[in-house]
Structure 1
């Protein structure tokens, strides 16, 4: 009898948790993934499109790509710093808005691969969660609480109206 009640309680709790709309965790995931990249992006700029001296130094002197047991200097380090800085500002904004979510997540995923090659020791604490979050957004998109969904619905209704104009 106690077992049946316990199973019933667990079943009800499971149904309640399953009733949470998927848009809520997808929004939380978009924000959670955006924050560390945004914060890092802010450190790369000293004004509009002006790389900070710290970013210049890191990409030219410190950062190395660790591939097959070797450490290689970044090719075109200032171009890489500029692209990283732009990506770390633009992609988080797109993620939070849910605008081009899958493409923004793909950009973050690609950046995380490069970050992993640059800082191999960060895999478990940082890069693995970023990979998982970006992969989830790649697969599921931004959800119903996203600009993607809003714009998709707007374009769909416009297409429907143009296909069947009112008399």
Structure 2
């Protein structure tokens, strides 16, 4: 019976110790510079993949991109949905933003500007495809994190002097 009492007394201490060790390991792995780099790349991927599909050549949209903004995509606003005004312009701007902003994010150049651009794009995407809100919320959270905490050490912005890490 005394062995059982020793086991029950040592279990909470062992569990607390194991949790503390696991927490320290996670903190060692999740360095701010690594988190910032992974956030930038993770946000860049879906936008770049979508943007690259809109182009037929250098600054030449494919017909599908324009057709999407003309026929398929609608703005879901009160009283709507409404067609995009000037769909070719929206398709062009969308294609440019979906390629340019992710490249800037991955390079870590103009990072906060690129994140702000993707925040705006995400809001427009949400108005266009409201049922996609779970993934749009994820994109928004990543973009806000990048805008708030900056590009991190592995970035051109850092080399140029953006060393501010807000907490």
- Taking structure 1 as the reference length, the TM-score comes to 0.88
Kindly report which structure 2 residues correspond to 1:11-160, keeping only aligned pairs within 5 A, or say none: 11-20=20-29, 21-124=31-134, 126-152=135-161
Cα offset, 1:16, TM superposition: 2.2
Q: CA RMSD in A?
A: 1.4
Cα offset, 1:61, TM superposition: 1.4
| Change in CA separation of 1:12 and 1:68 when aligned onto 2, cut-off 3 Å | same
Structure 1 gaps, min length 5: 154-167
In 2, the alpha carbon distance for the partners of 1:147 and 1:19 equals 24
Structure 2 gaps, min length 5: 1-9, 163-167
In 2, the alpha carbon distance for the partners of 1:69 and 1:23 equals 45
| Change in CA separation of 1:97 and 1:144 when aligned onto 2, cut-off 3 Å | same
Tell me if 1:4 matches 2:13: yes
